[in-house]
Amino acid sequence: MTTTTASPRHALTSRDLEILAWTGRWRAVTTDQIAREFDRRAGTGRRRSIYERRVLALRRLGLLHQDKPLADLPRVNWLTRAGHRAAGLDGAPATPSVGELLHDLEVVELALHLAVIQPGHQLVTEQEIRRTEPHPSAGPAAALRSGVEISAGRGTGGRGYPDLASVVTADDGTEQVWVHELERSRKSRSRWLTVMLAYVYADHVHGCVYWAWPDIAEPLRCAADEANRVAVEAGVRPCIVVQPWDPRLRP
């Protein structure tokens, strides 16, 4: 049985459970990211020491791991199995990947940015999509939540999952799904096109935004232009957009 107090001075609170649930949406998050998310929700700014104490208490409860896998990036937090259960999440808890840590933390930064500029959108993370969708053998796309489908089949190499998706209700009452991909490394144009065209032909995807690291923005725009031309020629609405992304975490 999981204990509910870390010390006589700290008892598990509903806000702690919210922090665990939000942390469980990602592979790893920094304490500063937790603070900014919950400051945004509260519409106020609290001292960082308040969040540092909460995170410390959750670690002592055995609900959070904390480590610094890379010396030039901040310490990160992720759920233990007990924390995963306490948050009421299905499946197994995610763990950080050293090779993908910078990308994963920047995706959290992108989500924090989108929550501010698109407050009417419901953000869905890659971890949430993976937990909700069935095994890849179930087909090229599967329902997420209230019949909204997000993941797109990518060629014959199996399935891919977007870094983020945002769901918004249109004026006519229908739900639109926008997928967001954060690109920081150059890929071949053919590989980009394969993924982009999968989104173009996915009926459940209304649009796809590629957020590009500065040094790959131009080649990514060229690939997007080609994908949109193919869409027009096929009688499909072009839906690939490229936006610049200024990295928030620079090692």
Domains of the chain by start residue, with CATH: 5-96 (1.10.10.10), 104-244 (no CATH)
Residue 180 main-chain phi, psi, to 5 deg: -130, 125
Sheet containing 122-125: order of strands:
122-125, 164-169, 175-183, 207-212, 240-244
pLDDT at 138: 39
* Per-block mean pLDDT, blocks of 10 residues, the chain (251 long): 48 93 97 97 90 96 96 96 94 92 97 95 90 49 45 58 90 89 95 93 92 96 98 96 93 58
Report which of 166, 181, 152 is spatially closest to residue 242, judged by C-alpha positions.
181
pLDDT at 149: 56
pLDDT at 91: 86
pLDDT at 147: 42
Q: What is residue 243's DSSP assignment?
A: E
Lookup result for tokens 């923005």: 217
